């Protein structure tokens, strides 16, 4: 086992052998790791989570996060990975590591998860784009395996049919669970026989989906399928998530039931900020990070804490700046802040004083933070 400080937290890594490597499309591949008996407990995970993989790229060690496509009951770690450029780190991972090679893999993390309710009748709708299908696939396999009363709808967008990954697995699930699972494919750069399935998944497309696919409910003649939706899962790029999350919310889905996972850095708010705050100037800030203590002053509270700390050159941990990834989670030891949107922290963690620096506005003349949560 190896331990490494990463994103402000102490993460545990273990060496795992690559059991299988498969090229899926021209720019995506999968890695499968078998888990040794003595590490089974360390690698227990929930559907929708990810692991971090440490490997050599261009002579340097890098750490990248990859979502799992495997479901917990399968007892293995399967990752779907996109090669973003021929010179990038993922290209090095594909070219230099093969079956039988060992990689350092972190214990599972992430909160793109939903509770299991095997005794309830539920309707779950998911939207995925490209490589964003990976955690959705994990969710769907897990739900179909554990929840016999839950019905699922997947709307999966890709540029073209050549870019569509995991088609075999998705088709298998659709055939096996045809009474509870429906999958619809959309292509943004390939003409389709039915114009309905041409274009990106966005607000306009959601309106059509609600009116033309999720309209008649065989289980309740007085309502629509959309009316019965319990949870929404969205995974893809930031702009897609923002558009669909807001559209789902405006169509009546509570924010707490809309779950999303980003696949790239995104610096915009998912939901509009509707609050106004009194101006506070010359704010004293103290914080602990990776065992070191820092102090500084913020000119005022117009910007969020993380933004100001980064402007001043401090090495604060972050990935998304949108309140989703949890990388900038810290403990508020002194002072008062307003936490805006929060897709990551639980109610209990908020009550204990945990905040997300990227979504926090200072409301006192002094604050004291601790980023070292481990």
Name the least confident of 184-198, 236-250, 273-287, 313-327: 313-327
Q: What is the pLDDT of residue 5?
A: 39
Greatest mean pLDDT among 22-31, 55-64, 264-273: 22-31
* pLDDT-wise least confident of 7-21, 37-51, 88-102, 114-128: 7-21
- Higher-pLDDT residue of 76 and 344 is 76
Residue 212 clears pLDDT 80, i.e. is over it = yes
How far, in Å, CA of 284 to CA of 364, rounded?
Answer: 9
The string of DSSP letters for 30-90 reads: EEEEEPPGGGTTTT---TT-EEEEEEEETTEEEEEEEEB-S-GGG-EEEEEEE---TTSHH
User: pLDDT digit string (tens) for 130-176?
Assistant: 999 999 999 999 999 999 999 999 999 999 999 999 999 999 999 99
Closest CA to 371 of 311, 300, 305: 305
Tell me the average pLDDT across 2-15: 64
Q: Strands 123-129 and 337-339, how do they pair?
A: unpaired
DSSP 161: G
Confidence of residue 1 (pLDDT cuts 50, 70, 90): very low
pTM of the entire predicted model:
0.87
Over range 325-348, report the average pLDDT.
Answer: 89
CA dihedral 291, 41, 260, 371 (to 10 degrees): -10
- Max Cα separation, the chain? 63
Place of tokens 């779907």: 80
111 alpha-carbon distance from chain centroid: 7
The pLDDT, as a whole number, for residue 8 is 54
CA distances to 201, 210, 241 from 247, rounded to whole Å, are 11, 11, 10
**pLDDT > 70 fraction of the chain, expressed in percent and rounded:** 97
- Please tell me the predicted confidence (pLDDT) of residue 296: 94
**Is the pLDDT at 263 greater than 90, yes or no?**
no
Tens of pLDDT along 222-253? 789 999 999 999 999 999 999 999 999 999 99
CA triplet 111, 36, 79: central angle to 5 degrees? 45
Is 153 within 8 Å of 125 (Cβ atoms)?
yes
CA pair distance 369, 295, nearest whole angstrom? 10
| Band of pLDDT at residue 318, cut at 50, 70 and 90 | confident
Cβ-count burial 202-240 (b if 16+ within 10 Å, e if not) = beebbeebbeebbeeeeeeeeeebbebbebbbbbbebeb
Tell me what percent of the residues of the chain surpass a pLDDT of 90: 77
Can you tell me the distance from the alpha carbon of 333 to that of 369, in angstroms, rounded to the nearest whole number?
6
- Whether residue 281 contacts residue 291, with contact meaning beta carbons closer than 8 Å, is answered with no
Q: Is the pLDDT of residue 125 over 70?
A: yes
- Which helix (H) or strand (E) is 285 found in, with range? strand 281-289
Which one, of 255, 348, 361, 352, lies nearest residue 302 by Cα?
361
- What lies within 8 Å, CB to CB, of 281 at 6+ separation is 299, 300
For residues 211-226, average pLDDT: 85
Average pLDDT, the chain: 91
């Amino acid at each position: 086992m190896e331990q490494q400080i990463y994103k402000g937290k102490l993460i545990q890594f273990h060496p795992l052998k690559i059991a299988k490597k498969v090229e899926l499309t021209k720019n995506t591949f999968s890695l499968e790791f078998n888990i040794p008996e003595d590490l089974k407990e360390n690698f227990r995970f929930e559907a929708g989570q990810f692991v971090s993989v440490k490997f050599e790229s261009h002579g340097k060690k890098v750490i990248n996060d990859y979502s799992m496509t495997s479901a917990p009951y399968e007892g293995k770690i399967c990752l779907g990975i996109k090669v973003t450029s021929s010179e990038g780190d993922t290209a090095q991972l594909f070219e230099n590591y093969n079956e039988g090679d060992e990689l350092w893999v972190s214990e599972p993390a992430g909160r793109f998860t939903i509770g299991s309710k095997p005794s309830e009748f539920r309707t779950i709708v998911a939207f995925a784009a490209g490589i964003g299908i990976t955690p959705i696939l994990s969710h769907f396999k897990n739900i179909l395996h554990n929840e016999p009363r839950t019905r699922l709808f997947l709307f999966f967008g890709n540029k073209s049919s050549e870019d569509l990954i995991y088609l075999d697995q998705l088709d298998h699930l659709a055939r096996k669970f045809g009474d509870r699972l429906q999958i619809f494919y959309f292509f943004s750069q390939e003409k389709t026989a039915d114009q309905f399935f041409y274009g990106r998944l966005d607000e306009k497309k959601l309106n059509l989906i609600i009116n033309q696919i999720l309209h008649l409910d065989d289980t309740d003649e007085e309502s629509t399928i959309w009316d019965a939706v319990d949870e929404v899962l969205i995974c893809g790029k930031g702009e897609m998530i923002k558009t669909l999350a807001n559209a789902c919310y405006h169509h009546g889905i509570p924010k707490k039931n809309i779950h999303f996972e980003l696949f790239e850095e995104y610096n915009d708010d998912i939901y509009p900020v509707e609050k106004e705050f009194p101006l506070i100037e010359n704010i004293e800030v103290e914080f602990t990070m990776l065992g070191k203590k820092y102090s500084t002053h913020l000119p005022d509270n117009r910007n969020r804490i993380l933004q100001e700390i980064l402007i001043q050159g401090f090495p604060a941990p972050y990935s998304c700046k949108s309140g989703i990834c949890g990388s900038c989670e810290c403990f508020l030891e002194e002072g008062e802040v307003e936490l805006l949107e929060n897709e990551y922290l639980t109610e209990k963690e908020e009550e204990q004083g945990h905040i997300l620096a990227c979504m926090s506005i200072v409301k006192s003349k002094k604050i004291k933070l601790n980023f070292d949560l481990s």
